[in-house]
């Protein structure tokens, strides 16, 4: 007798800790550093564009691809990550997968009017401090604050 639905093999393969990449889309304005956040598709939480790496690509290129697909922005992505954060990715069927995410700053040079996931997400620019307050993951909050401070001229 079965008490729980079977988990498809493709999902079961992802139930061990995963490694993802994320972009931290930003721009510098007269008002200071702004960060672009997006909403998650399912829970509508404010997050950064992130996803799984793809074979044959670099982590920074994968982060830039996620930014384009999920938020419609392109720009100059850093070759090295700003740092890492951790979260639990909730998959279909209620499975939670612990993920380690490398965060790559992306200096936005273009924001498209249309992109593949536009209908599924909200996107909004926030001052770095406000963006940090809106995301749930404590390590991501710290990374956003640290990055914003690193681009803010001393004395401001």
Active-site residues: which are they?
A: 69
Sign of CA dihedral 152, 33, 130, 97: negative
> Percentages helix, strand, coil for the chain, rounded to the nearest 5?
30, 40, 35
Is residue 15 within 8 A of residue 109, CB to CB? The reply is no
Is residue 40 within 8 A of residue 47, CB to CB? The reply is yes
Cβ-defined contacts of 63-69 (< 8 Å, 24+): 63/21, 63/22, 63/23, 63/102, 63/103, 63/104, 63/106, 64/23, 64/104, 64/106, 66/21, 66/22, 66/23, 67/23, 67/25, 67/106, 68/112, 68/115, 69/115, 69/116, 69/117
């Amino acid at each position: 007798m079965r008490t729980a639905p079977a988990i498809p093999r493709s999902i079961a393969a992802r139930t061990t800790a995963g490694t993802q990449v994320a972009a931290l889309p930003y721009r510098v304005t007269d008002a200071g550093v702004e960060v672009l956040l997006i909403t998650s598709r399912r829970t509508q939480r404010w997050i950064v564009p992130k996803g799984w790496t793809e074979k044959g690509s670099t982590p920074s290129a994968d982060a830039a691809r996620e930014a384009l697909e999920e938020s419609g922005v392109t720009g100059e992505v850093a070759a090295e990550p700003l740092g890492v954060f951790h979260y639990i990715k909730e998959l279909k069927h209620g499975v939670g997968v612990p993920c380690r995410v490398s965060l790559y700053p992306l200096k936005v040079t273009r924001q498209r009017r249309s992109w593949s996931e536009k209908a599924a997400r909200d996107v909004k620019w926030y001052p770095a401090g406000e963006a940090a307050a809106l995301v749930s993951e404590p390590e991501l909050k710290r990374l956003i604050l640290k990055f914003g401070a690193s681009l803010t001229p001393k004395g401001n």
